[in-house]
Structure 1
Amino acid sequence: MGIRGMETFLEKNDGTACFPVNIQKLIENARREGESTTIVVDGMSCLRYMYGDLPWIPGGQVKEFVENVQDFAMRFMSLGAELVFYFDGPPAEVKIDEWKRRRLETWRKSTICWTS
């Protein structure tokens, strides 16, 4: 688990912390220099992106989700990069209560939309 809200804070308050990069050029430069083109991907952070517009509530569309993941990976592989996905697993025991509170809060907010 990271620091809640850190990415948003950095994007809004520190223009030098987050900036766009041209991944294709970075990969090309690394290959030219004989460096690794392995990219480590935080799998949990990508799930919403990879799910795209697919519905989450009724259980999701597994086939379409897999196709989105394959498309994501193939875009990098076509540039010569190797992707390594990691998932940090379940929350640590000391963080379970806070994790539950946040999930419940998110669920409550989503049910308000359904009942309004």
Structure 2
Amino acid sequence: MDCWARGFCFLYFSMIFLFLYYMDVLFLINPMVRGWINYYGKFYPSELKKVLNYVEATLVRWAMGKYKKLRGRKWRASRCLGRVAKRAPLLMAHWRIGCVSAVG
């Protein structure tokens, strides 16, 4: 995964986003993720899974920081996002193609 993509994710998931609800965060980053899927899917498909896994892991870290019950509980945060993805798979572009956290 390119260094700029990691930096971009960090910028979008910084402390300022702890004050946003998950729907706001999803609508802000979804166009970027969709663009990464289009680019990496066409020009660098072997790297696409790494990029999407990193986005999903960053969402899990965001949820751990945002919600008090998920702090320090990576597995619980992953399951929580997995349940959201199972209920509404069209919210995020990478959930549409099957890159989802562990579903509980």
* TM-score, normalised via structure 1 length: 0.31
Tell me the TM-score normalized by structure 2.
0.33
Pick the structure with more strand per residue.
1
Higher helix share goes to which structure?
2
Q: Please tell me whether Structure 1 or Structure 2 has the larger radius of gyration of its CA atoms.
A: 1
